Chains A and B, each alone.
Chain A
């Protein structure tokens, strides 16, 4: 069973990963620095919130100096690393996947250089969307088990018999 999400591991990860983004000699971080620099994005003013392997690639969430959050994916290719995608977290699926890491990365940047951006807004959007999905309101997931009326029937009455706003 999944463990509850907690903020601290993400913040510790963000500090460690951001340090790696800015200073590490590992190929993956060198490649990402080059990718960002070529696009006019300062890696020393960017932060990484989560990063990890995914099949033959590595993928994570990066926040740029203008406080835009991206999913970044790199792939090993013939002994070298290519950044194969950089997708802004405007898609709900990506927000659900990376919200905690994006929050941690943006918080780190705001601690370094306050701009007035509100990292908490990422989690507000995340909670709104994840709760909507949980209730099965979005197209295509109405058959999820927790959308069934009887799924919640044994919950104590103080919480209402089914989650609803």
Chain B
């Protein structure tokens, strides 16, 4: 799993992930404490490549390239 984006506040997280199959996910969640664990996923969406590029930009292409190289 590659991390396209990770941001956390005191009680919430917002992340973008790219899995080994090249699927992109965006999720948000609430944290039990600022150090975790994640208490509840408040949003979990699979994104197509176009949607993922609109959020994470060329990092998506870099991630797909990295997956190709590590196959």
Query: In the complex, what distance in Å separates the CA atom of A137 from the CA atom of B18?
Result: 18
Where the two chains meet, the residues of A that have a C-beta atom closer than 8 Å to any C-beta of B are 1-8, 103, 120, 123-124, 126-128, 130-131, 134, 145-146, 148, 150-156, 158-160, 163-165
CA distance A2 to B35 in the complex (A): 16
Instruction: Compute how far the CA of A160 lies from the CA of B43 in the bound complex, rounded to whole angstroms.
Output: 16
Q: Given contacts A120-B62, A165-B70, are A4 and B16 in contact (CB under 8 A)?
A: yes
Q: Are A151 and B37 in contact (CB under 8 A)?
A: yes
B→A interface (CB under 8 Å): 1-9, 12-14, 16-17, 19-20, 25, 27, 29, 34-41, 44, 46, 55-59, 61-63, 65-66, 69-70
Q: Enumerate 13 A-B pairs (CB-CB under 8 Å) in ascending A order.
A: A2-B5, A2-B6, A120-B61, A120-B65, A127-B2, A127-B4, A127-B59, A127-B66, A128-B66, A131-B3, A134-B3, A154-B39, A164-B1
Question: Is the CB–CB distance between B37 and A6 below 8 Å?
Answer: no
A1 touches B17 (CB 8 A): no
User: Which listed residue (B9, B27, B34, B55) contacts A4, Cβ 8 A?
Assistant: B55
Q: How far is the CA of A35 from the CA of B44 in the complex (A)?
A: 49
Contact B9 A1 (CB under 8 A): yes
Contact B57 A8 (CB under 8 A): yes
A155–B17 alpha-carbon span in the complex (Å): 12
| CB within 8 Å for A155 and B59 given contacts A4-B7, A163-B1, A165-B20 | no
CB neighbours (8 Å) of A7 from chain B are: 57-59
Indicate if the CB atoms of A1 and B14 lie closer than 8 Å: yes
Instruction: Give B62 Cβ to nearest chain A Cβ, in Å.
Output: 4
Q: In whole angstroms, how far apart are the Cα atoms of A29 and B2 in the complex? A: 37
Min CB–CB distance A129 → chain B (angstroms): 11
Task: Name the residue among A123, A130, A160 with the largest chain B CB count within 10 angstroms.
Answer: A123
A35 to B34, alpha carbons, bound, how many Å?
A: 44
**In the complex, A95 Cα to B62 Cα: how many Å?**
15
Tell me how far the C-beta of B40 lies from the nearest C-beta in chain A, rounded to whole angstroms.
6
CB-CB under 8 A from B25, the residues of chain A are: 159
